[in-house]
Amino acid sequence: MTRLKPLALLTALLGLLACSALPALAIPTATLPPPTTDATLAHNHLKWQSQHITHYRFSLDVRCFCGFTGQMPLTIEVRDGQLVSETDKTGQPVGAQFKDAFDKYDTIEKLFALLDAAKNGGADRVDIAYDPQYGFPQSAYIDYMANATDDENSLTVTHFEILK
């Protein structure tokens, strides 16, 4: 019995060390967008709102230490601020088990709200790159606690398309 305790302890320690290396592998710091300011966030949000885009589609890739990243990228269609459709990387509708997890990402307005809350709600680091034409967040990195492991999130918006 006593021989198993050191082995179990070693296994647990190796597991923790492996998990602590995951964020560095999942979100390379060389590809992070530049640090953002409240004024930059507000300016781009106004730029987005001034476009009066009511019907659009985009792809969204969210990276985090969470169970749904295998569904990415999502293809999201929005009309009049409401989700019209949301499909996973295979083109299938997002399953009910992931609906709540994806709710905060399913419109450009919600992305702005998420980033504003992170920026003004105590995240230690929020870096955002914006689409130069429309102002929506093109990529973002959020580190809620600088000294914590596995709390970082990144998101990337691609294939943005205005629909008629």
**DSSP H stretches of helix in the chain:** 4-26, 38-50, 96-102, 108-120
- Alpha-carbon gap, residue 28 to 128, rounded angstroms: 15
User: Do residues 139 and 49 lie in contact, with contact meaning Cβ atoms separated by under 8 Å?
Assistant: no
What is the pLDDT at residue 34? 53
pLDDT above 60 (res 6): no
Span 16-29, pLDDT tens digits: 333 333 333 344 44
Span 61-104, pLDDT tens digits: 887 666 565 677 889 999 999 999 998 888 888 877 777 777 77
Structure tokens at 15: 């597991």
pLDDT above 60 (res 111): yes
SS3 for 99? helix
- Alpha-carbon gap, residue 136 to 129, rounded angstroms: 9
**More confident position, 97 or 13:** 97
**More confident position, 140 or 33:** 140
Q: For the chain, what are the domain ranges?
A: 4-162
- Alpha-carbon gap, residue 136 to 128, rounded angstroms: 10
pLDDT above 60 (res 118): yes
